[in-house]
Amino acid sequence: MSNTGGRRKPPTIHDVAREAGVSRGTVSRVLNGGHYVSPAAAEAVNAAIRRTGYVVNRHARSLITGRSDSVGFLLTEPQERFFEDPNFNVLLRGCTQALAAHDIPLLLMLAGTDDERRRITRYITAGHVDGVLLVSSHSGDPVAEELRAAGVPLVACGKPIGLGSKVSYVAADDRDGARDMVRHLLGLGRRRIGVVTGPLDTPGGVERLAGYREVLAEAGVEEDERLIVSGDYSRASGEAAAERLLGRAPDVDAVFVASDLMAQGVLAALQRAGRRVPEDVAVGGFDDSPAAVAASPALTTIRQPWDRISAEMVRVLLAQISGEDTAAVILPTELVRRASA
Amino acid sequence: MSNTGGRRKPPTIHDVAREAGVSRGTVSRVLNGGHYVSPAAAEAVNAAIRRTGYVVNRHARSLITGRSDSVGFLLTEPQERFFEDPNFNVLLRGCTQALAAHDIPLLLMLAGTDDERRRITRYITAGHVDGVLLVSSHSGDPVAEELRAAGVPLVACGKPIGLGSKVSYVAADDRDGARDMVRHLLGLGRRRIGVVTGPLDTPGGVERLAGYREVLAEAGVEEDERLIVSGDYSRASGEAAAERLLGRAPDVDAVFVASDLMAQGVLAALQRAGRRVPEDVAVGGFDDSPAAVAASPALTTIRQPWDRISAEMVRVLLAQISGEDTAAVILPTELVRRASA
DNA sequence: TTCTCTACTGTGAACGCTCACAGATGCAGC
DNA sequence: GCTGCATCTGTGAGCGTTCACAGTAGAGAA
């Protein structure tokens, strides 16, 4: 396994220019859009590039342009949670591919420890990436704030809390998704509809609960605080929440659960309590994660458009990098009907 | 959300030199190891760096050194499979963090389409990364071969097939893991031990089967071809394999399954056939994936040291980048006892 | 013809760094 | 004193680009 071969010195723009019989300037112009260059010259340059196998040296380019033509994908804080979330994978993959289409590499940055946080902040503010795709936790995020203050282009996934209103983000329409699900449950004839909320210090948690309330109010079903319990998106918290719910409102005939993982816990608790799903209690989840299909019965749930979210994040970030003003983007969700409701 | 602030021009090595009252050369020396520089000068430079908030411009450095001080994490071919595998996440995270400790960013590269493959190959061979961490599929991989031919430092995760022997890799000891598991099943008094293999065109599949055979031979248990069925690591294939196995060898009293996902399928098939686990049939998995804990009963399985694998991959790659000859690294596995065996 | 305008091309200079080299200083040995 | 050596420092060149600018050629208008 010796490091055989070594790497030969790659051809430079000089070599291409000589080969094509033109000047560096002309080659550079062909490389960057090809304006103000004659068809003959362009053809000669392209042929020379093909022949020599020339690839632009991005370092030299970056040195003078000040751009790095790369962006960071920054995950702050509780990495476990995100890394275990299959949606995170879809997001990461989607962003990587969307960027690849623009020939922009993605740098993965994980800010776990304070040391990593410092290093990453320095790296980014030093201009080593042109912008940052941010997957942040719910709590106020010092890294993100620092980046924002430094004027680094930044797009968050999901509405960030505590970052002021100045940061662009892309998110699924949590509230509308919740509305769809609760409407669906109403459509099944259920009236004692409980809810297991997510953490209420996150926008998602708040919005999903708000959607639930709105639809019940619209339908003239009076709200009952006993039907509202909260969890933290984990399976265990869903199980505990369902037990509380059954204790406080035994006549519950449907539950809207703010995450599929929690819904798994809810199913377990209902089964233990001898309630049949969906006959006695209909259950609706949120996320359309693999957990939704793995559950038995399979979960009726709300799908978030993760592929579109990643594509939009990249689009918005690139727009921001090229100096445009960008706004938040909210994308529609979709109800996925399975057995549990 | 306007792109307010803009980015100020960062300080250069010139600024630091002026601030510290020394020359560029001295600052550069301090930055790169600090040899041949007086303590007084070093102190002055460090103070100036702190005061100015200087961060080295990596592009300028790379332009002259020829190194990029970044490495690629390359995933070729069936992305779905890897992206759904939680171990992949652990691997990716581990590599990112191990590299971060060396201040080396990781570029995520996904070679799905032919177009992406071409682009990535060009990007890498052009020297835009110093080396590549490779997660490849089992089949011969044209990208990897091209990289190897170009002399790009390369470390694969798992033994690559069809890449010649010239590529370094880091892998878990599949054979020894299989041996441990089969020994464990023997220790439980089982003698009619079946095996559900992985795909036999992968090193992992081959090795795990070989381990099974070795232990049975050692123990003097005669081999029975009816006890050997194969799958493709998927849950469904495990279920089908178990049905075949039960048909061919109804007296089976234990099954070593080459992946946890398949083992889930095996459990389902056994339950449907009315066999109790582990009383009638003991089941051993492989991987220690979340599926192992989620299964009921929870799977006894073989844990692969993914955290150590990622750390070793980075170590070996960096060694290779700095010109050392590197060999393959095989890491030990660990038997995790749970309810299924 | 001459002038102007457009389309195109070549040429230095610069980006911020490292590297090789030359020079300076101090100290030991003759 | 001089020489040699080790330690330290500054300087110029150059990495491979892009960019601003100057310059050329040709077409059309006056």
- Can you give A85-135 as a three-state secondary structure string? CHHHHHHHHHHHHHHHCCCCCEEEEEECCHHHHHHHHHHHHHHHCCEEEEE
> Chain A residue closest to B100 (CA)?
A116
The closest of B99, B154, B168 to B121, measured between CA atoms, is B154
- Residue B24 CA to D1 C1' — how many Å? 37
Dist. CA A166–CA B188, nearest whole Å: 63
> pLDDT for A225-260, tens place per residue?
999 999 998 888 999 999 999 999 999 999 999 999
Pairing label, strands A254-257, A193-197: parallel
Half-sphere exposure at residue B227, Cβ-oriented, CA atoms within 13 angstroms:
20
Is the pLDDT at A4 greater than 50? The verdict is no
Collapsing DSSP states into helix, strand and coil, what is residue A311?
Answer: helix
**Count of Cβ atoms closer than 10 Å to residue A63 Cβ:** 17
- Residue B52 CA to D9 C1' — how many Å? 22
Dist. CA A132–CA A134, nearest whole Å: 6
Q: Are B327 and A103 an interchain contact pair (Cβ–Cβ within 8 Å)?
A: no
Is the pLDDT at A292 greater than 80? The verdict is yes
Compare CB distances from B127 to A7, A89, A92 and report the shortest one's residue. A7
* pLDDT of amino acid A80: 63
pLDDT over 90 for what percent of chain B? 72
Show the 3-state SS of B314-326.
HHHHHHHHCCCCC
Dist. CA A29–CA B302, nearest whole Å: 58
* pLDDT of amino acid A202: 83
> Chain B residue closest to A54 (CA)?
B126
Chain A residues 124-153 with Cβ under 7 Å of strand C are none
User: What's the sign of the alpha-carbon dihedral A139, A142, A143, A144?
Assistant: positive
Question: Which pLDDT band, with edges at 50, 70 and 90, does A8 fall under?
Answer: low
* pLDDT of amino acid B295: 82
Is the pLDDT at A141 greater than 80? The verdict is no
Q: Mean pLDDT: which of A35-39, A91-95, B165-169 is highest?
A: A91-95
Question: Which pLDDT band, with edges at 50, 70 and 90, does A1 fall under?
Answer: very low
Dist. CA B31–CA B46, nearest whole Å: 9
* pLDDT of amino acid A248: 96
B1 touches strand D (CB under 7 A): no
The answer to whether B223 touches B251, Cβ cutoff 8 Å, is: no
- Residue A24 CA to D29 C1' — how many Å? 35
Question: What average pLDDT does the structure give for chain B?
Answer: 90
Pairing label, strands B254-257, B301-303: unpaired
Dist. CA A294–CA B145, nearest whole Å: 38
Chain D positions under 7 Å from a protein CB? Answer: 7-12, 14-21
Looking at the DSSP bridge assignments, the partners of residue A172 are: A331
User: What's the sign of the alpha-carbon dihedral B242, B245, B251, B254?
Assistant: negative
Dist. CA A24–CA B150, nearest whole Å: 27
How far off is chain B from A169, nearest CA to CA, in Å?
10
A14 touches strand D (CB under 7 A): yes
Q: Are B116 and A127 an interchain contact pair (Cβ–Cβ within 8 Å)?
A: no
> pLDDT for B18-56, tens place per residue?
999 999 999 999 999 878 899 999 999 999 999 999 999
Collapsing DSSP states into helix, strand and coil, what is residue A231?
Answer: coil
User: Phi first, then psi: what are they for A193, rounded to 5°?
Assistant: -95, 115
Q: Are A119 and B128 an interchain contact pair (Cβ–Cβ within 8 Å)?
A: no
Is the pLDDT at A25 greater than 90? The verdict is yes
Rounded to the nearest 5 degrees, what angle is found at the Cα of A233, between the Cα atoms of A134 and B86? 65
DSSP A230: E
Question: Which pLDDT band, with edges at 50, 70 and 90, does A81 fall under?
Answer: low
Pairing label, strands A106-111, B106-111: antiparallel
Dist. CA A147–CA A131, nearest whole Å: 10
